[in-house]
């Protein structure tokens, strides 16, 4: 095995499949961003926390919104504050640096130590957003126009990008990433995952829960299939309320934690 | 052999670039594939394939190259041989070897190579091909006492995983959900500043404030909005019934508020004659003349329909025997008027392209650029609609 490789193997509170671990390690070894896709609720965002924990690195989170611009991630020149200060004479207006606020990507690149940078739900932003980040993610450096400063990352951060969507990111962007699609966990893997969250759950009860859960997922024409996080919530609700699953005849208690639309609930009741 | 794989991937339309290939080579140098075919499968897929839609093509290419079903079967037998020897060493106990009277290892190998060359696909069950769960002498989990076990026990091997073609469902030509349509439609836009002054124009504010000797002078401008206007015409009933759900999804995504500057939708049955309808029951008509009169030529016309009907319904004047609106103008002429009015139009056809050789489809294709109602077709249509937008 190569030196410095295979550093990620999941953490006690995050169960990763072998091919996911492999993908993370490839990204670490090649120092390329890892792009993770998968159904909502399959733990894409939690993966970043888990990597940070496993490698004991600090994590910087960048939650992308529909209005997020690439520039926001690097830095913003707080002109309004500066204008305000110039008018009321608070602080030294001539020092531009005071008004340069680094964004998440800017902080990750200017950090003295290696960090994990999570760019969460990149598909939420404008379609051109990923293209605007190409250079910075590739070269791991950026230029602050206002001060003429060039910020270069001393240690390339481990960049993890999550996306819910298909077919949206530009090719030039994709070319630079390592890609992994998180498949819905198999029953065996799911058993391990639930164990992590509910370590003292009885084996028999877990079997029943999984039975109901996978049965529900196979219901045809569901709009939103329940996911891992919903299963964990559901089990938590069952335990909190002390409902005994095998004694409940017919309907599923707390159906609302598993199925989130009226249509799906109606479909199931039928 | 790896280059073969590269070109096989490209041949199967997986857009792998030299850039990615060099990264894969570097990864192999670093030993990231853990010297196994499984590791190589994971590694190559993570670096080369960036879209779920291409996973299936990747699996197919992987099978084609590494199972040696392409012409150059013998060029890979070195790998297979090494693999085979290892497998035999590991999997067969002395008792089993003693049982192996029927075929000597050399005969077995010769036969295996021959089969491998003949075999085209993954195979499960059965008594001849290399596969799983059968009684052929080759494969895994089978019942032949002297057979060759391929691959390692425990976990799924790369070949098995590729063979399962588990990602077939994710191919782009498969189902379109509302979200996917949404994404495709996002590109249908032409941004411009219109409307009320709502956004602070920082640069201008700074400029004016400076000129104003430091006294704040705030400048606002209108936010950027999509200026594209869309008219959607949907064929309903008859041969369109099987596609109703798909058309419904398209409608849901397209009618989302704020998507377009103006969005109107109408229904028709089979072909447009004289009027289109505001409801799917075809009760409240809007004459085509009114529609044209109320729409700017820069609006985008999108027609959804299978264009399948009796040629008479399209070509003969008064061909619409299903309605009481028989006129002296043929359906095709009405369609032509629509096509002529709008500068950009597109026809989305839910039927596969291989069915488009019918007369009526051909005639309508001459009027409207036609695209299949798939993710790929929708993207091409959107691209066509915004190109040279005015």
pLDDT computed for residue B71 by the predictor: 37
Give chain B's mean pLDDT.
Answer: 72
**A13 domain-assigned:** no
* Ranges of each domain in chain B: 2-170, 178-190+227-386, 196-224
The predicted complex's ipTM stands at 0.71
pLDDT computed for residue A162 by the predictor: 92
**A106 domain-assigned:** yes
Q: Is B349 helix (H, G, I), strand (E, B) or coil?
A: strand
Within this chain, do residues A148 and A165 fall inside the same structural domain, yes or no?
yes
Within this chain, do residues A80 and A155 fall inside the same structural domain, yes or no?
yes
pLDDT computed for residue A34 by the predictor: 93
CB contact under 8 A, B23 and A32: yes
Domain boundary among A144, A161, A182: A182
pLDDT computed for residue A36 by the predictor: 92
Nearest to B122 by CA among B99, B156, B153, B83: B156
What number is the average pLDDT over the span B95-123? 54
A interface with B, Cβ–Cβ below 8 Å = 1-2, 5, 18-19, 22-23, 25-27, 29-30, 32, 35, 37, 79-80, 83, 86-87, 123, 127, 165-169, 171, 174-181
Within this chain, do residues A65 and A134 fall inside the same structural domain, yes or no?
yes
pLDDT computed for residue B38 by the predictor: 79
pLDDT tens digits for range B118-172: 554 444 444 444 444 344 444 443 334 344 444 333 345 566 666 666 666 555 4
Within this chain, do residues A41 and A102 fall inside the same structural domain, yes or no?
yes
State which residue of chain A sits closest to B31, comparing Cα positions. A2
Q: Note whether B15 contacts A: Cβ–Cβ < 8 A.
A: yes
CB contact under 8 A, A171 and B15: yes
Within this chain, do residues A164 and A215 fall inside the same structural domain, yes or no?
no
Q: How many CA atoms lie within 13 A of B289 on its CB side?
A: 1
The structural domain count of chain A equals 2
Within this chain, do residues A201 and A170 fall inside the same structural domain, yes or no?
no
Say which residue, B146 or B287, is predicted with more confidence. B287
Q: Note whether B10 contacts A: Cβ–Cβ < 8 A.
A: no
Task: Select from B16, B50, B165 the residue whose CB has the most chain A CBs within 10 Å, as the one to mutate to test that interface.
Answer: B50
CB contact under 8 A, A167 and B179: no
pLDDT tens digits for range B201-244: 878 888 888 888 777 778 888 777 778 888 999 888 778 888 88
pLDDT tens digits for range B346-382: 999 888 888 888 888 888 888 899 998 888 888 888 8
Residues from chain B contacting residue A35 (CB–CB below 8 Å): 50
pLDDT at B35 over 80: no
pLDDT, tens digit only, all 270 positions of chain A: 344 555 787 777 788 888 888 889 889 888 889 999 888 878 888 899 999 998 889 999 999 887 888 888 999 888 778 877 877 777 777 788 888 899 999 999 998 889 999 999 888 877 678 888 888 888 888 888 888 888 888 888 999 999 876 556 777 888 888 999 888 888 888 888 888 888 888 888 888 888 888 888 887 777 778 888 888 888 888 888 877 666 555 567 787 888 877 777 777 776
Within this chain, do residues A235 and A216 fall inside the same structural domain, yes or no?
yes
Residues from chain B contacting residue A165 (CB–CB below 8 Å): 179, 183
pLDDT computed for residue B370 by the predictor: 92
Q: How many CA atoms lie within 13 A of B38 on its CB side?
A: 13
Structural domain range at position A229: 187-269
pLDDT computed for residue B311 by the predictor: 80
Say which residue, B263 or B161, is predicted with more confidence. B263
Q: What confidence category does residue B68 fall into, taking pLDDT thresholds of 50, 70 and 90? A: low
pLDDT tens digits for range B218-230: 888 877 777 888 8
CB contact under 8 A, A1 and B31: yes
What number is the average pLDDT over the span B326-350? 84
Within this chain, do residues A145 and A226 fall inside the same structural domain, yes or no?
no
Q: What confidence category does residue B112 fall into, taking pLDDT thresholds of 50, 70 and 90? A: low
Within this chain, do residues A43 and A124 fall inside the same structural domain, yes or no?
yes
Within this chain, do residues A89 and A65 fall inside the same structural domain, yes or no?
yes
pLDDT at B323 over 80: no
> CA-CA distance, A29 to A3, in Å (whole number)?
10
Q: Which residues of B259-276 are buried (b: 16+ CB within 10 A; e: fewer)?
A: bbbebbbbbbbbbbbbbb
DSSP structure string for B120-138: -S--BSSSSSSEESSSSSE
Within this chain, do residues A252 and A160 fall inside the same structural domain, yes or no?
no
Within this chain, do residues A133 and A244 fall inside the same structural domain, yes or no?
no
pLDDT tens digits for range A43-95: 888 899 999 998 889 999 999 887 888 888 999 888 778 877 877 777 777 78
What is the CATH number for A72?
A: 3.40.50.300
Q: Which residue has the tokens 């051909």?
A: B362
Q: What confidence category does residue B175 fall into, taking pLDDT thresholds of 50, 70 and 90? A: low
Q: Cα distance from A221 to chain B (closest Cα, Å)?
A: 12
Domain boundary among A136, A154, A182: A182
> CA-CA distance, B308 to B89, in Å (whole number)?
62
Residues from chain A contacting residue B206 (CB–CB below 8 Å): 79, 83
**A5 domain-assigned:** no
CA angle A137, A140, A143 (to 5 degrees): 105
Look up the CATH number of domain B178-190+227-386. Answer: 3.40.50
Residues from chain B contacting residue A93 (CB–CB below 8 Å): none
Domain boundary among A157, A182, A207: A182
CA angle A139, A145, A147 (to 5 degrees): 110
């Amino acid at each position: 095995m190569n030196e410095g490789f295979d550093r990620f193997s999941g953490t006690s509170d995050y169960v990763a499949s072998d091919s996911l671990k492999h993908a993370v390690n490839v990204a670490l070894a090649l120092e390329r961003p890892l792009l993770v896709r998968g159904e909502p609720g399959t733990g894409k965002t939690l993966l970043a926390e888990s990597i940070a924990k496993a490698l004991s690195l600090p994590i910087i989170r960048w939650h992308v919104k529909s209005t997020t611009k690439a520039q926001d991630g690097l830095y913003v020149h707080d002109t309004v504050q500066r204008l305000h200060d110039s008018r009321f004479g608070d602080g030294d207006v001539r020092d531009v640096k005071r008004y340069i606020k680094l964004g998440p990507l800017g902080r990750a690149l200017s950090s003295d130590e290696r960090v994990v940078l999570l760019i969460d739900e990149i598909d939420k932003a404008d379609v051109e957003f990923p293209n605007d980040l190409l250079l910075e993610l590739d070269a791991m450096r950026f230029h602050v126009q206002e001060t003429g400063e060039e910020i270069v990352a001393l240690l390339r951060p481990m960049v993890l990008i999550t996306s819910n969507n298909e077919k949206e990111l530009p090719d030039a962007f994709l070319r630079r990433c390592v890609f992994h699609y998180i498949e819905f966990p198999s029953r065996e893997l799911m058993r391990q995952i639930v164990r992590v969250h509910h370590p003292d759950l009885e084996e028999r009860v877990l079997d029943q829960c999984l039975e109901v859960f996978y049965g529900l997922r196979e219901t045809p024409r569901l709009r939103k299939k329940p996911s891992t996080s919903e299963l964990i919530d559901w089990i938590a609700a069952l335990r909190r309320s002390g409902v005994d699953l095998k004694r409940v005849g017919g309907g599923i208690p707390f159906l609302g934690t598993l199925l989130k639309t009226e249509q799906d609930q109606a479909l199931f009741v039928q | 052999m790896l280059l073969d794989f590269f070109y096989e991937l490209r041949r199967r339309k997986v857009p792998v670039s030299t850039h990615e290939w060099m990264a894969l080579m570097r990864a192999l140098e670093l030993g990231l594939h853990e010297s196994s075919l499984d590791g190589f499968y994971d590694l190559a897929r993570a670096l080369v394939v960036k879209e779920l839609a291409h996973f299936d093509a990747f699996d197919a290419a992987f099978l084609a190259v590494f199972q040696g079903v392409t012409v150059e079967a013998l060029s890979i037998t070195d790998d297979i041989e090494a693999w085979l020897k290892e497998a035999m060493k590991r999997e067969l106990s002395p008792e089993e070897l003693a049982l192996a009277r029927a075929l000597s290892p050399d005969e077995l190998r010769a036969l295996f190579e021959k089969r491998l060359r003949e075999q085209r696909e993954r195979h499960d069950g059965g008594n001849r091909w290399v596969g799983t769960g059968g009684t052929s002498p080759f494969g895994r989990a089978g019942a032949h006492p002297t057979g060759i076990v391929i691959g390692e026990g425990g976990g799924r091997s790369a070949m098995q995983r590729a063979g399962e073609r588990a990602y077939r469902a994710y191919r782009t030509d498969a189902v379109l959900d509302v979200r996917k349509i949404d994404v495709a439609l996002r590109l249908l836009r032409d941004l411009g500043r219109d409307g009320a002054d709502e956004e602070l124009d920082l640069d201008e504010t700074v400029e004016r404030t400076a000129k104003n000797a430091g006294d704040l002078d705030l400048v606002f401008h209108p936010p950027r909005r999509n200026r594209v206007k869309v008219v959607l015409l949907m064929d309903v009933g008859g041969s369109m019934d099987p596609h109703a759900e798909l058309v419904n999804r398209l409608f849901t995504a397209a009618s989302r508020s704020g998507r377009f500057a103006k969005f109107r939708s109408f229904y028709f049955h089979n072909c447009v004659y004289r009027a289109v309808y505001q409801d799917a029951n075809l009760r409240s008509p809007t004459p085509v003349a009114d529609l044209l009169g109320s729409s700017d030529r820069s609006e985008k016309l999108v027609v959804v329909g299978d264009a399948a009907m009796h040629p008479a319904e399209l070509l003969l004047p008064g061909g619409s025997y299903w309605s009481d609106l028989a006129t002296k103008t043929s359906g095709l002429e009405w369609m032509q008027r629509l096509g002529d009015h709008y500068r950009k139009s597109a026809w989305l056809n839910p039927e596969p392209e291989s069915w488009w050789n019918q007369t009526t489809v051909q005639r309508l294709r001459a009027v409207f650029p036609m695209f299949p109602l798939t993710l790929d077709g929708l993207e091409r249509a959107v691209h066509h609609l915004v190109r040279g937008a005015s």
